[in-house]
Chain A
Amino acid sequence: MSENEALQKDVVISSRVRLARNYADMAFPPNMDEETAKEVVARVETALEDAPKEEHYTLHRVARMTAVDRQMWMENHLASPDLFQRPEAALVTNEEKTVSIMVDEEDHLRIQAILPGLQLGKAAGKAVAADAWLEKSATFAFDEEWGYLTSCPTNTGTGMRASAMLHLPAIAISQQIQPLIQAVSKVGLTVRGFYGEGSEAMGDLYQVSNQVTLGKSEEDIVSSVQAACRELAERERLTAQALCEAESLVFEDKIWRAYGALTNARIIDSKEFMTLWSSVRLGINLGILPASLDTIDKLMQQVQPAAIIKRAGQLLPELERSKARADFCRSSLAQV
């Protein structure tokens, strides 16, 4: 079995685990003043001395980040927009950018590990390891009955959110998303569109995560999300196959048209890109298109707005960005 197959990368884009932690003796972020916010960052700086040296952790201060940097951290899913609401806040990341710690977001610490494909257990291990070194010099808010105490009672207990980003184009085309959301909610999990608002999911990307954080162990949470993702991935594959067989000509035409646009268009905005990307990715998974899964997955990160601006070395108006995106898609897909 190839690595891609083992990690179910055809359907599962990435796995994330985050832990919410607060210092016991300080007001929580939504209720704290600037001085406290600074002190939280100072504590994390001290704690960094206990971090394993080989991980090469770095602390980045929000106040010193450019707008493009902030956007970049968000595009890479290492920070949330809320982190940047506070100039005193900071972001800690390891060198390989698999672990990030948001400091002064909704909780004092939001420890997060992100890995490609379906590997929630490994991601949880990484987050817990970071929790262990952060804890050495600190006393976290904890209650014997209620576990780790967080700003929002929806995170109380383990403070853990285990989630995976899934690409479900076939399930979406066949209008099965709504029943799926209902089915998944019955086992204490939630599914929502990853990009876009409400029921709209750009690129057919959906996030599956646990809803309950109190009364379940970390292992139970991870294994229930992991099991649901496996099940959904299998359902997606079967649906894609069935669609392919039932409407093969119409289906193939749709995929080739998307590929045609992605490899020939001169202007592609982000929304259109996500639509084309989704069809092309499905075409690659079904063996219809020649490109590789790794290329198309990398492409999604590479054509996000901040990534384009970084590469150009200057701010670009939207139309210029759309042109740069189209150029990049052409050259990147021509290589295969």
Chain B
Amino acid sequence: MLCEECNRNPATVRYTSIQNGKKVEKSLCAECMHANKLALPFAFSLNDLLAGLFDSGKTQEIQEASDLKCEACGLTYEQFRQSGLLGCAHCYEAFRKPLVPILHRIHGRVQHAGRVPRSAEELMQRKRDIQQLKDQLKEAISQENYEKAAELRDAIRTLEKPAAGKVGEADE
């Protein structure tokens, strides 16, 4: 089939547009598609697409999110919505709630499964250790083994002390 625009080159793209509320379909060659600057999906910038992703939630949620602001760098959610870029590591915390569906739409999942930096690895290990001790503490108390419980409580306190900061603030 030939391009319906130039009637010269073979048509390679099926182009659908809405004109005056009517669906218009055309078969075009790449050249005419380009020359007419017809809107192709890849003509959108990534940020436009991201902005689109942000808006597909419920109205109330969007309203709630647009009032958010990152205290660390001052970036507002509205600014993020426009640029598609976060301002600092803390923004991920400040915008956590609206970011969950966004990350989900981009990646399909929201649980990291890759490498972990050394600093965070130690911290995560410590967290796991504390949780384990806490479980043991619960058990010791339920068995009325108060001597062991006291030992466990001290051990938990020692572990918790250097971990006062969150990931990212460690080693500082």
Q: Does A35 contact B (CB under 8 A)?
A: no
Contact between B83 and A30 (Cβ–Cβ < 8 Å)? yes
A residues near B62, Cβ cutoff 8 Å:
none
A59-67, A71-79, A140-148, A277-285: which one contacts chain B? A140-148
Task: Report whether B86 and A28 are in contact in the complex, using a CB–CB cutoff of 8 Å.
Answer: yes
- A146 and B114 in contact, given A30-B85, A198-B40 (Cβ under 8 angstroms): no
Asked whether A158 is an interface residue with its Cβ less than 8 Å from the other chain, the reply is yes
CA distance A244 to B47 in the complex (A): 43
- A139, B119: Cβ atoms under 8 Å? yes
Q: Does B3 contact A (CB under 8 A)?
A: no
CB-CB < 8 A to B119: which residues of A?
Answer: 135, 139-140, 142
A residues 24-39 touching B (CB-CB < 8 Å): 24-28, 30-31
Chain B residues near A178 (CB, 8 Å)?
12
Q: Which residues of A contact B30 (CB under 8 A)?
A: 199-200
Mostly, the A contact residues are loop
**B117 interface residue per 8 A CB criterion:** yes
Q: Within A124-164, which residues are at the interface with B (CB < 8 Å)?
A: 128, 131, 135-136, 139-154, 156-158, 160
A236 within 8 A of B: no
Interfacial chain A residues near B111, Cβ < 8 Å: 145, 214-215
A27 CA / B110 CA spacing, docked (Å) = 23
Tell me whether B15 is interfacial, beta carbon within 8 Å.
Answer: no
Structural contact, A24 and B89, CB atoms closer than 8 A? yes
* Closest Cβ–Cβ distance, residue B84 to chain A (whole Å): 6
Q: Are B167 and A143 in contact (CB under 8 A)?
A: yes
Those of A141-200 within 8 Å (CB) of chain B: 141-154, 156-158, 160, 175, 178, 188, 192, 198-200
Residues of chain B contacted by A216 (CB below 8 angstroms): 113-114
Which of A139, A144, A157, A213 touches B170 (beta carbons < 8 Å)?
Answer: A139
Contact residues on B (Cβ < 8 Å of other chain), bracket: 35 or more
Docked CA distance A218–B107 (Å): 14
- In B71-130, the 8 Å CB interface with A consists of 73, 75, 83-89, 92, 99, 102-103, 106-120, 124
> A217 at interface (Cβ–Cβ under 8 A)?
yes
CB distance from B133 to the nearest CB of A (A): 19
The tally of CB-CB contacts under 8 A between chains A and B is 146
Q: Are A215 and B110 in contact (CB-based, < 8 A)?
A: yes
Q: How far is the CB of B90 from chain A (nearest CB, A)?
A: 9
Residues of B within 8 A of A198 (CB): 34, 40, 42-43
Is B106's CB under 8 angstroms from A153's CB?
yes
Q: Which chain B positions have C-beta within 8 A of A153?
A: 50, 84, 86, 99, 102-103, 106
**Cα of A217 to Cα of B34 in the assembled complex, Å:** 38
Are B168 and A142 in contact, with the CB atoms below 8 A? yes
Asked if A217 and B50 sit within 8 Å, CB to CB, the answer is no
Apart from A143-B167, A153-B106, A192-B42: 6 A-B pairs, beta carbons within 8 A:
A27-B73, A31-B75, A135-B118, A140-B119, A198-B40, A200-B34
Q: What are 15 A-B pairs at a CB distance below 8 A?
A: A27-B73, A28-B88, A31-B73, A31-B88, A106-B85, A128-B115, A136-B118, A141-B92, A153-B84, A158-B114, A188-B108, A214-B106, A215-B107, A215-B111, A217-B115
- A residues engaging B (CB < 8 A)? 22, 24-28, 30-31, 106, 128, 131, 135-136, 139-154, 156-158, 160, 175, 178, 188, 192, 198-200, 212-218, 220
